[in-house]
Amino acid sequence: MSFYSFSKVVVLIGVILGTASGCTTAATLSTVAPTTVAPVSEKSASIVVDGSTGAVLYQASADLPRVPASLTKMMTLYLTFEALKSGRITKTTLLPVSAHAASQAPSKLGLKPGQTIDVDTAIKAIVVKSANDVAVVLAEYLGGTEDQFAAQMTAKARQLGMRGTNFHNASGLPDPQQITTARDMALLGMSLRKHYPGQYYYFVTQDFVYNGKLIRGHNRVLAQLNGADGIKTGYVRASGFNIVTSISDNGRQLVAVVMGGETARSRDAQVVSLVNAYLPQVASRF
């Protein structure tokens, strides 16, 4: 059996198991005559979705299992925004730093055990710096342990209709049990805007100051596309270069996902090309 046939079987089994276990799912993305293109590599996948209607305008290997890398932090932030909205935490809530959180591999903010960090700074550190130590700080505060938080992340994914995703940590650092699909990442991106419009502005942040030092981000697509307002980049060796890009332009909303890029530059070029090609097809809300 080929890799792609096997991958499709894996996804199908995941869907069946999710249904059998009684998981509640939201409506999945609809497809309107998308263009399907063969994948470039076993890491690659992409999808472009009309953010207002959910119509899929383009897809390539969008349902094959892929490694999310730091796209994982989109769900970490989703649950953080949920806690903010419910009043469980505020932007000024101080989060304690454990030895486990401080020990995470880069990219990181360099927190030390026993320190604290406020929620507002923590969110910016994840959006801009993709700080793995900060992701674990939030996970432990909200979930008790990172493992328990990861279980909550997966449960929330099922509620949102993300059928091909399993989270095993809060950061996206390498873990063989952590998988997703391009379609699921697009759905998560759309859900962040829909459910948390009051917090969504964080995703356009390109720098912030921490301990007197200016920390700059590396999502260069924000400066390359009119209307770009997020969301997240990611990279580990197993994933290649990933990105979820959100556009809000003259009443039109679009989400584009590119996974498995060989370089950050080629990934960025691909997502810019996809946005420019398909944004004219996006329905305006005006």
Sign of CA dihedral 131, 236, 11, 35: positive
CB 15 within 8 A of CB 246: no
Six-digit token string for 215: 């920390």
**Counting every residue, how long is the chain?**
286
Catalytic (active site) residue 70: yes
Active-site entry in 7, 98, 130, 246: 130
Residue type, 115: Q
Active-site entry in 7, 44, 61, 70: 70
| Strand order, beta sheet including 240-249 | 30-36, 55-60, 45-50, 252-261, 240-249, 228-236
In this structure, the strands spanning 45-50 and 55-60 are antiparallel
Element housing 173 (H / E): none
Residue 129 marked in a binding site: no
Instruction: Please report the DSSP string for 195-231 in residue order.
Output: H-TTTGGGGG--EEEETTEEEE---GGGGTSTTEEEE
Active-site entry in 73, 108, 124, 156: 73
Catalytic (active site) residue 284: no
Catalytic (active site) residue 73: yes
Six-digit token string for 34: 């998308």
Integer-rounded Cα radius of gyration of the chain: 18
Residue type, 26: A
- The one-character DSSP state at 18 is H
* Local structure of 154: helix, strand or coil: helix
List, as residue ranges, the binding site for substrate. 232
- Residues designated catalytic: 70, 73, 130
